[in-house]
Amino acid sequence: MKKASILLASLLSALMLAACGGDKKADTGKAGDAGDKAAKTAYATIGTGGITGVYYPTGGAIAKMVNNKRDQYNIRCTVEATGGSVFNVNAVMAGDLEFGVVQSDRQYQAINGMAEWKERGPQKDLRAVFSIHPESVTLAAAVDAGINDIRDLKGKRVNIGNPGSGQRQNSIDALQAVGLDYEKDLQAESVKAAEAPGLLQDGRIDAFFYTVGHPSGAFKEATAGVRKVRFVPITGIDELLAKYPYYAKSYVPVKEYPGAENEGDVETFGVKATLVTSAKVPDHVVYAVTKEVFENLEEFKGLHPAYSVLNKEEMLEGLSAEIHPGAMKYYKEAGLK
């Protein structure tokens, strides 16, 4: 009886070990398959800007196009609202973002070690992908503040943009071009563009700058309130335009803002929004992003009125950094380079 019990116990132990071994092998196989799939999936985050600007929907549109072909590219693309151009360049260089939407002037400054990058030096790993929509340096002011020209900002409460945004330097450049020092001649505020319309309507500021593609949710909000608002022309800046190659004359399309106290389009100047990445981002990831935008350009243009003027050739203009090899591969295939 004792021998039979020992034999039975040994048999059960052997069966359990065999079962465990089989299960372990099966589990290992499953884990391996999942691991291989996860290892092949590339993750790409696009840094944009405030949610009321055009950068955020731009990033969202690009991510959607790439994610629609996740099975083909095995890339998962996400979007992140950020502080804007300077933040995006730095985050891309640090590897915290794979892509960033950046003003063309900020791309120029970063690759040449200027402005915020003067002490850090040229951002040599910064790579261009393509240009997107034009952006106008836009100045809106309350009618009751008596601001009819940019020079009338002297002594006024003006938001010039948050540190880390491209618009802040544009504001400072515009002011300096007409002889105004934002630190001495204005009561300057430094809040994000999304907060400025509310501050203007509440009477806490008199005017604000915002570099953005039109139409813009921020300016729709600013011109739809009880306090009457007008767009202010930025003129007499020919020396500024001659000095910086990334600036060009532009205008604010007033028809997009029926609540504004303007009768016609307003003169100003502007830059381009561009998509940048790092030399360290894999070629196949940049290739996929580039291809999906260019081969679905009509669909992309329909996502926002600011994109309506886009064409493939001009999307390769305004790029100061070297074009990423992944993007260049597509441009050569498409006969654009």
Give CA angle at 284 (275, 295), nearest 5°: 60
Q: Give the helix/strand (H/E) hosting 8.
A: helix 2-40
Q: CATH 3.40.190.10 region(s) of the chain?
A: 41-134+272-333, 135-271
pLDDT over 70, % of the chain: 88
- CB distance 62 to 101 below 8 Å: no
Check residue 28 and give its pLDDT.
Answer: 38
Q: How many CB atoms are located within 10 Å of the residue 32 CB?
A: 10
d(CA 132, CA 152): 33
Lowest mean pLDDT among 12-21, 57-66, 185-194, 203-212: 12-21
- What is the reported pLDDT for 330? 98
Contact 128, 279 (CB under 8 A): no
Return the top range by mean pLDDT from 10-24, 50-64, 213-227: 213-227
For residues 80 and 57, which has the higher predicted lDDT (pLDDT)?
80
Q: Quick one: average pLDDT of 307-333?
A: 94
- Higher pLDDT: 188 or 28? It is 188
Q: Is the pLDDT of residue 30 over 50?
A: no
How does residue 39 score in pLDDT terms, banded at 50, 70 and 90?
A: low
CATH of domain 41-134+272-333: 3.40.190.10
| This prediction's pTM | 0.77
Looking at the predicted structure, is the pLDDT value of residue 17 above 90? no
In 3D space, the residue among 244, 201, 247 whose CA is nearest the CA of residue 226 turns out to be 201
What would the two tokens of residue 129 be? 């992908």
End-to-end CA distance of the chain: 88
Superfamily of domain 135-271: Periplasmic binding protein-like II (3.40.190.10)
Nearest C-alpha neighbor of 233 from the set 212, 213, 254, 247: 254
Radius of gyration of the chain (CA): 27
Mean pLDDT of 287-301: 96
**Which residues fall within 8 angstroms of residue 183, CB to CB, at 6 or more apart?**
none
Average pLDDT of the chain, as a whole number: 89
DSSP symbol at 78: E
Tokens standing for residue 201? 């309507």
